[in-house]
Chain A
Amino acid sequence: MLLRLLWLTPVLCFAARAQHETKDGEKAKHPFIGDLAAIEAGRQQFSTGCAGCHGPDGGGGRGPNLQDRGVWHPLGDEDMYKLIQKGQGLMPGANASVDEGWRLVAYVRSLTTPAFEMKAPGDAAAGKAVYAANGCANCHTLQGKGGKLGPDLSNAGLRLPLPKIRKAVMDPDDAIAEGYQGIDLVLRSGERVRGVVKNRTNYSIQVQLGNGSLRLLNVGDVETMTLREATIMPVDYAKKLSKTEMDNLVAFLAQQAAGAPAMAAKQ
């Protein structure tokens, strides 16, 4: 009991001073929130303990999927800190130091914070050149320009957190975006149709070709249909790009947020 009290004392003290009233009366965020070094340190702590239940990337396992913001959305930073330290139900407390606890909060937050709102490492301007040099525009669209075989990236920075953008470039096979499964069809007429599957039922298949045009095909007109379980995106960017190039490319993609008012300022 004494030990527990001693353990709680610093937590509560820190909690009391973790958020500061600013001049405007708004609560200031803990400095670890959004800090990449703290997030990385939090990720390493996470992988040694929390990952056992929440999955190696927070994607869920025996415990809830933390990449789904709905799981913890009602929690503010302070409450999440307390939950991590104390535990809840079947979840044991982390019993970590104050800084370690806040690093875990920073990491969990980063799983869902839009990349546009994070300080991405890398040079976005240089990343634009990486995007161009590697032919990304052959399959991906930005601001209405580019190919249609991969997801439109115009708003990637608002839709995806940084780790997901990085993962999607380095390991595109991990999760293929809905509507972008590769398909190769031979029709009974002899025609061959290749593209990505927008949707498919037992009776018809809709294919989007590289130029964006759509073909709705009746299953009855199809001789053979080959669906790709693997992505059609090249899977060698993790090897092909240097760390700097990868950072730059991720920084460039993180800035793709056509609807964000601050976009012009950031660019």
Chain B
Amino acid sequence: MKKLMLAMVVALGVNAQVKYEDIVKGPGKDWLTYAGDYQALGLSSLDQVTPENAANMTAKWSYTVPGASGLRTRPIVYDGVMYFTNSNEVYALDARSGRLIWKYTDLKAQKKDAANRGAAILGDKVYFSTVDVHLVALDRRTGGLIWRKQYGDIKKGEFASSAPLAINGMIIVGNGGGDLGMRGAVTALDAETGEQKWKTFTVPAKGEKGAETWGEYVEWGGGATWLSGTFDPALNTLYWTTGNPWPDFYDGDRKGDNLYSCSLLALDATTGKMKWYFQFTPQDTHDWDAQSWPVLVDLPYEGKLRKLVFHANRNGYLYVLDRVTGEYLKASKLIDKLDWSTGIDAKGKPMRVKGKDPTPNGNRVCPGVRGATNWMSQSFNPATGLLAVVTLEQCDVFTSSEQKPEPMKNFAGGGAGPKPKDAGQFFLRAFNPLTGQKVWEYPMTGKGNMWAGAVGTKTGVIFVGDDDGHLVAVDGKTGKHLWHYQTGDDVYASPIIYSAEGKQYVAIASSKTVFSFGLFEPVKSVPVPAIKIQ
């Protein structure tokens, strides 16, 4: 036995590690970050699945997550191992077979009732956030806990649900809780030690610049940062979106623009200093967080190559900004049912229609509280110039309450929801953001319950979760249906693409189960091995 052990120990080799440069390269064999790449293009270079053969896709494996309900996780994959999260948990599965390698359950978490969107990976560590706002570093090979560092405070209304973003030597994290009063922040921690490097609040403290755009409750103003951001390595800039001002539906105590809520922030990655901000919805009263992807692209704009950021916002508009300066360039409509504004002016401000704020008796406004789009993943293909975005055509009745705001007391200043027989409809739409043209759309006619997004391949296939529990493949040029699979459950998470042992897979989490799909292959008959038990 000792000889056997010695042989196994001597067989030690140097394992490969995930390098920052690997993440910069974008998705190929591996899917190394929540969005797939720093730019959030959501576009895989794998080429086995094409519009011609996508109809041959089939389920390869599924893994039902014990106790899960409403999984929001988007997995990452490295070297044949898939890492995904549930609330206060991380799972490592074999990405070819879906079988469990290890599971980590956080024993110290003080709060459990929030979803988790995913993990990050760098070096030999897998990172995720616990609901009680701690960043946890795990050994990627064993799931062993390396460290657990607090970066927010549940006693101040914060929780954590987003996937961390790993950049060069740092892990960037955000916080949630903006619907009940808290203070949004983006925090950077050292990837090796977990030591805090910087923290940038999204809402000013009393007396700071921008506090004049609020009122008495500025320090509970929200501006949560509950979706990962994107990153431009050349500009060393993070692009992070912020959530609604609090109270969500009543602005009587916050007369002003409420900076920097409902905004896109450009942050220096080394210091956290704000380079610029762009506020999509000043003094929002409809819970239109800006949590949707800042997609980073370099394209000619009006004859000149520009570094651009596309942003499909919950308020109903698709924006194009210069990502070096934050200059507003263009906005176009994502949806037809949009009645709160007549358009966007030359400075990028919405031109509001009067009488579209929530009222005590209710006021029907379009889009609804879920927005024209939301945090679902998008896919941009430079070859077609098309951005695929899940959109929702829906109007809601918004009510307001003048009750004195009390932070962390389940008070949002009102509420919102659709009238009976006024339910909305989801569409996957492909836009050319530079022209504002909607090139195609794929309507969904299910029960209207989903948070699933899209992912694409350079070969021209787009995979998207639908509002009826399916993973669907459509042609990226035309939106034509190619394939679908019924998961038997709601889908609240976005798909990814990876390969293992030379075979391409597409994976998505349904509410309770992670599925992985690939091209059909006949099963070979399996000879039985000789099994000895000693």
- Residue A118 at the B interface, CB < 8 A? no
Whether B530 lies near A154 (C-beta < 8 A) is: no
- Chain A positions 41-97 with a Cβ under 8 Å from a chain B Cβ: none
Whether B99 lies near A199 (C-beta < 8 A) is: yes
Shortest CB distance A127–B (Å): 18
Whether A206 lies near B94 (C-beta < 8 A) is: yes
- Residue B97 at the A interface, CB < 8 A? yes
Whether A209 lies near B4 (C-beta < 8 A) is: no
Note all chain A residues with C-beta closer than 8 A to B147.
Answer: 143, 258-259
Which single member of A114, A144, A234 contacts B139 (CB below 8 Å)? A144
Taken residue by residue from 496 to 534, chain B's Cβ proximity to chain A (1 for < 8 Å, 0 otherwise) reads as 000001000000000000000000000011111111111
Whether A149 lies near B8 (C-beta < 8 A) is: yes
Interface size class for chain B? 35 or more
Whether A154 lies near B81 (C-beta < 8 A) is: no
> Which of B9-17, B152-160, B206-214, B481-489 participates in binding chain A?
B9-17
Note all chain A residues with C-beta closer than 8 A to B144.
Answer: 141-144, 152-155, 258
Note all chain A residues with C-beta closer than 8 A to B136.
Answer: 259
* B4, B8, B101, B534 — most chain A CB neighbours (10 Å): B8
Whether A211 lies near B11 (C-beta < 8 A) is: yes
Shortest CB distance B29–A (Å): 15
Q: With A201-B99, A232-B1 as given contacts, are A194 and B8 in contact (CB-CB < 8 Å)?
A: yes
Distance, CA A203 to CA B11, complexed state (A): 26
> Which of B102-110, B365-373, B406-414 participates in binding chain A?
B102-110
Whether A214 lies near B101 (C-beta < 8 A) is: yes
- Chain A positions 154-179 with a Cβ under 8 Å from a chain B Cβ: 154-155, 158-159, 179
- Residue A210 at the B interface, CB < 8 A? yes
Shortest CB distance B24–A (Å): 24
* B146, B527, B528 — most chain A CB neighbours (10 Å): B146
Q: With A201-B99, A206-B99, A206-B101 as given contacts, are A211 and B529 in contact (CB-CB < 8 Å)?
A: no
Whether B145 lies near A138 (C-beta < 8 A) is: no
Q: With A144-B125, A214-B81 as given contacts, are A225 and B531 in contact (CB-CB < 8 Å)?
A: yes
- Residue A190 at the B interface, CB < 8 A? no
- Residue A18 at the B interface, CB < 8 A? no
Note all chain B residues with C-beta closer than 8 A to A199.
Answer: 94, 99-101
- Residue B148 at the A interface, CB < 8 A? yes
Whether A227 lies near B531 (C-beta < 8 A) is: yes
- Residue A12 at the B interface, CB < 8 A? no
Distance, CA A203 to CA B99, complexed state (A): 12
- Residue B257 at the A interface, CB < 8 A? no
Which single member of B9, B14, B94, B146 contacts A154 (CB below 8 Å)? B146
Note all chain B residues with C-beta closer than 8 A to A234.
Answer: 2, 5
Distance, CA A94 to CA B11, complexed state (A): 55
- Residue A226 at the B interface, CB < 8 A? yes
Q: With A226-B534, A229-B534 as given contacts, are A210 and B8 in contact (CB-CB < 8 Å)?
A: yes
Q: With A144-B125, A148-B141, A212-B141 as given contacts, are A195 and B102 in contact (CB-CB < 8 Å)?
A: no
Shortest CB distance A235–B (Å): 9
Whether B146 lies near A211 (C-beta < 8 A) is: no
Shortest CB distance A239–B (Å): 15
Interface size class for chain A? 35 or more
Q: With A198-B99, A226-B533, A227-B534 as given contacts, are A220 and B527 in contact (CB-CB < 8 Å)?
A: yes
Taken residue by residue from 68 to 104, chain B's Cβ proximity to chain A (1 for < 8 Å, 0 otherwise) reads as 0000000000001100000000000010110111100
Distance, CA A230 to CA B534, complexed state (A): 7
- Residue A139 at the B interface, CB < 8 A? yes
Shortest CB distance A156–B (Å): 9
Taken residue by residue from 121 to 162, chain B's Cβ proximity to chain A (1 for < 8 Å, 0 otherwise) reads as 000110000000000100101111111100000000000000
Whether B145 lies near A155 (C-beta < 8 A) is: yes
Note all chain A residues with C-beta closer than 8 A to B101.
Answer: 179, 198-199, 206, 208, 214
- Chain A positions 219-260 with a Cβ under 8 Å from a chain B Cβ: 219-220, 222-230, 232, 234, 258-260
Distance, CA A71 to CA B322, complexed state (A): 61
Whether A154 lies near B139 (C-beta < 8 A) is: yes
Note all chain B residues with C-beta closer than 8 A to A214.
Answer: 80-81, 94, 101
Note all chain A residues with C-beta closer than 8 A to B80.
Answer: 214, 216
Which single member of A216, A220, A226, A259 contacts B532 (CB below 8 Å)? A226
Taken residue by residue from 24 to 37, chain A's Cβ proximity to chain B (1 for < 8 Å, 0 otherwise) reads as 00000000000000
Note all chain A residues with C-beta closer than 8 A to B139.
Answer: 141, 144, 152, 154
Distance, CA A213 to CA B534, complexed state (A): 24
Distance, CA A147 to CA B7, complexed state (A): 13
Note all chain A residues with C-beta closer than 8 A to B146.
Answer: 143-144, 154, 258
Task: Closest A residue to B105 by CB, please name it.
Answer: A159
Distance, CA A220 to CA B5, complexed state (A): 26
Distance, CA A21 to CA B532, complexed state (A): 61
Which single member of A138, A153, A227 contacts B9 (CB below 8 Å)? A138
- Listed by A's residue number, 13 A-B pairs whose Cβ atoms lie within 8 Å are A143-B147, A151-B142, A153-B144, A155-B145, A194-B11, A210-B9, A211-B12, A225-B532, A226-B532, A227-B532, A258-B145, A258-B146, A259-B145
- Since A198-B101, A225-B530, A232-B8 are in contact, a sample of 14 more A-B pairs with Cβ atoms closer than 8 Å, ordered by chain A residue number, is A144-B124, A144-B139, A152-B142, A153-B144, A179-B102, A198-B100, A201-B97, A208-B101, A208-B141, A214-B94, A219-B528, A227-B531, A227-B534, A258-B145
Residues of A within 8 A of B (CB): 114, 138-139, 141-144, 147-149, 151-155, 158-159, 179, 182, 184, 194-195, 198-199, 201, 203-204, 206, 208-214, 216, 218-220, 222-230, 232, 234, 258-260
Q: Which 3 interchain pairs have the tightest Cβ spacing?
A: A152-B144, A212-B141, A152-B142
